[in-house]
Structure 1
Amino acid sequence: MKLFANIFCISVLILISECASAEGLTIEITKGAQTAVPIAIVPFAQQGSIGNVKLSDVIDSDLAGSGFFKTLAEEDMLTQPSEPDKVNFRDWQALGQDYLTIGQIQGNGNSFNIEFHLFNVHNGQLLMGYRLTVGPQELRRAAHHISDLIYEKLTGRKGVFNTRIAYVTSAARGSGKQYMLQVADADGYNPRTIAESPEPIMAPAWSPDASKIAYVSFHTKRSAIYVQTLANGQRESVAAYPGINGAPAFSPDGSKLAITLSKDGSPDIYVLNLATRGLTRLTSGLSIDTEPTWSPDGSSIVFTSDMGGKPQLYSIPISGGRATRLTFQGDYNARGRFSPDGRSLAMVNGSGGRYRIAVLDLASRTTTLLSEGNLDESPSFAPNGAMILFAANRGGRSVLSVVASDGAMQQKLDFQSGGVREPAWAP
């Protein structure tokens, strides 16, 4: 039962956090990439009533946090042009910049017209020009959209700044706590509570189209798995069997959930058909099998098991059969999560009493440690595979961190009003 004890201890850590708020969020780059590309994001010229969102700051934070770019501090800029014909490229060349973004925003409080231009500093070439109109509640989302456009233009890879994350937090309520499942922008801003209970909530998992979240709730004093539609808040209990109901994971087509159930004895991996509620059992035996995750092509499931004596990752075909062990480096490997391309697995690697985020290359079976903490957990790939979101313990507080999948960059999202756990990045 050692694996279950480890999982239980990690789950307990989820329950010691307090409520997060956008106003209390601090984003800190704790490790920068040495090969990051220099880019200057000039403050956008503003006309009219704009509000308190500074688009250039959001774009700067997005790009710097990706690990691919090194942004120029505003105080180091020689000029701050907002129109293409006002740009002196020699100024930006002298500052060692490769790329330059300028822009303007006009608004009257009801709608905002945004225009920006992206240049190659070395030859003065205009790489992109773009205009959009948004409402007052969409300014941050517009900034993230611009970041995505710049990121994709310069890296050839889709941006993820305009995506969302889910996580679990809690707040003191009288003599107890109120547990909350929240959804926020990818940088932690604009949190929204989608479920709350005086009993624990854990293990959120997104549907492939990001319209639903499956999670475990103990609000009836027993574990049960729910699927909730984000648009209308409607939720449905899909698994409430005797014993453990845990670790839901949507299939790539969204029609099934891989889950952990102990209704027939030891915890095993089952596949639940959401339409018929039919169950298919994939594993059996005395070992503890948990934390399933689907391969992107839906052909297999990777899960954590102590069948070899210590927690390690195993793969089993969706049709059933013999499980194959995948991990051998370290005393503990758990919570596997596939990269979007299916070529690697993010996981928690334990060795020497330290639990860190690692990536397993499935072709070479090489394990690479990415994080530097002692109690890091719950890795989740970004939709483009370039970054991994995870929960970490820093100075006795639980925070969210993001690390580049090659380890080149790491940043911390610190919710000053409390801690957060169990992050999951939306597709």
Structure 2
Amino acid sequence: MDLKGVWRRRHFVGLLATATAAPHAFAQFRVEVTGVGLTQTPIAIPSFRGEGDAPQRISAIVRADLERSGRFRPVETGPGSLDETSRPDMGPLRQAGADALTAGSVTRLADGRWDVRFRLWDVLRTQDLGGESYAVTTGDLRLAAHRISDFIYEKLTGERGVFSTRVAYVTKTGERFNLWVADADGENAQSALASPEPIISPAWSANGGQLAYVSFESRKPVVYVHDVATGRRRLLANFRGSNSAPAWAPDGKTLAVTLSREGGSQLYTIDAAGGEPKRLMQSSGIDTEPVYSGDGRFIYFVSDRGGSPQIYRVSTQGGNVERVTFTGSYNISPCLSPDGRWLAYIARVGGAFKLHVMDLSSGTATAVTDTTADESPSFAPNSRLIVYATRQGGREALMTTTVDGRIKARLAGQSGDIREPDWGPYPR
């Protein structure tokens, strides 16, 4: 069996202990943005005063964040000195094509922390849109930059930004697997767990404090819950047979899991504290890859009950099952947008595995990538972006795409691959 196929179809054909990936991608990623959006706000983000003395270039991080979102286009303004106290001359900025401006400063404090300040301007209306300041440690400079990006995004779009959220993913180096937690741009990766046995299917809890995942350290798939802040973990599901594909309910009180305790792979719900699982429904086929809808009313899942893997949904209380995908003969890995508008999934098209997005109100689905080995889609908490794993240019990588597929960003390491991404919720 093709090893890449084992990863791609890991839940549907069974969680195989032989699943492998290419070597680990290093923690520092390089962002490559491609595509053109329909509407992009041109924004000037000159270098922050004093940032050259800091280990992180705040303005560069903010520019990359906003460009990756697909909603902004950075504008060069030429030489000049601006910070959060400046009253900018809007004429040259308008001539440069900027609709907005962010200027700021980075200053080292006596206690070793950094004082990061900024201000946002509406260039067209000559309006001060406000600003903030943060006193942060060196390790939190990137977080400060992401918070600036969130402020700008929300002020100019009216929607909440996702730049200070986190993503989880899995890598394999030699014979060692790692579960990583990183910033939403892929940087600042921290190892949450290392194991000589496969780790798959990380899933964030609704409050972002915990990660459920599947480990093979017991020589079979077992579900654990990991506390991100403390590193402590607890066993959630270790029943007879396979325990796999954990998915959190939006209220954080329940998880859906796939268990084979009674024979074939079937869906169950289990209390987040553990205990006896409850079987969701009866099926003669394989049911797996559950995911909750944003309102918590439905569980979407993959089943071969119709002869080939398709996506279905059922009430969280059980009952009648509805088929959701009808185009194509192989549709897996469902992911629901938090706002309930979109279903992302992987469809096999002529031997290629491609990310598709379905408008749930109309049922219309569209392929949004030109790659052929896409896996594991996961929506950002604002429903605007999707992170997924793929192979591009001969390398394994994480990508983000806008829902319409127009703007893509590659989060690529120096070598190797990264897999199984899951985008975390807003911080609480």
Give the TM-score taking structure 2 as reference length: 0.92
Q: Within 5 Å, give how 1:290-305 maps onto structure 2.
A: 290-305=288-303
SS at match of 1:241: coil
Amino acid in structure 2 at the alignment position of 1:225 = V
Aligned twin of 1:90: 91
- Deviation by residue 1:171-196 (Cα, 9 ceiling, x = unmatched): 12xxxx10011101111111111111
SS at match of 2:9: helix
SS at match of 1:22: coil
Aligned twin of 1:344: 342
- Deviation by residue 1:271-311 (Cα, 9 ceiling, x = unmatched): 11233512111233331110000112222210001111111
SS at match of 2:50: strand
What's the CA shift for 1:81? 2.3
The correspondence for 1:59, drawn from 54, 62, 85, is 62
Q: Which runs of 5+ in 2 are unaligned?
A: none
Amino acid in structure 2 at the alignment position of 1:71 = P
The correspondence for 1:208, drawn from 206, 209, 216, is 206
SS at match of 2:147: helix
Aligned twin of 1:112: 114
Aligned twin of 1:39: 43
Q: Within 5 Å, give how 1:146-295 maps onto structure 2.
A: 146-172=148-174, 177-275=175-273, 277-295=275-293
Q: Quick one: structure 1 residues 6 and 170, their matched pair in 2 at CA, closer, same or farther if it must change by over 3 Å? A: closer
How many pairs align? 417
Q: Which runs of 4+ in 1 moved over 3 A?
A: 3-6, 8-14, 83-86
Contact 2:6-2:19 within 8 A present in 1 as well:
no
Q: Quick one: structure 1 residues 10 and 41, their matched pair in 2 at CA, closer, same or farther if it must change by over 3 Å? A: farther
Give the TM-score taking structure 1 as reference length: 0.93
What's the CA shift for 1:395? 2.8
The correspondence for 2:24, drawn from 11, 19, 22, is 19
Aligned twin of 1:355: 353
Q: Within 5 Å, give how 1:371-410 maps onto structure 2.
A: 371-410=369-408
Contact 1:296-1:341 within 8 A present in 2 as well:
yes
Aligned twin of 1:129: 131
Taking every aligned residue pair, what percent have the same amino acid on both sides?
A: 40
Q: Which moved more, 1:263-272 or 1:7-16?
A: 7-16
Q: CA RMSD in A?
A: 2.1
Contact 1:169-1:421 within 8 A present in 2 as well:
yes
Q: Which runs of 5+ in 1 are unaligned?
A: none
- Deviation by residue 1:355-396 (Cα, 9 ceiling, x = unmatched): 111111222111122222101110000011110010011133
1 CA distance for matches of 2:210 and 2:320? 32
2 CA distance for matches of 1:157 and 1:331? 37
Aligned twin of 2:330: 332
SS at match of 1:63: helix
1 CA distance for matches of 2:154 and 2:303? 39
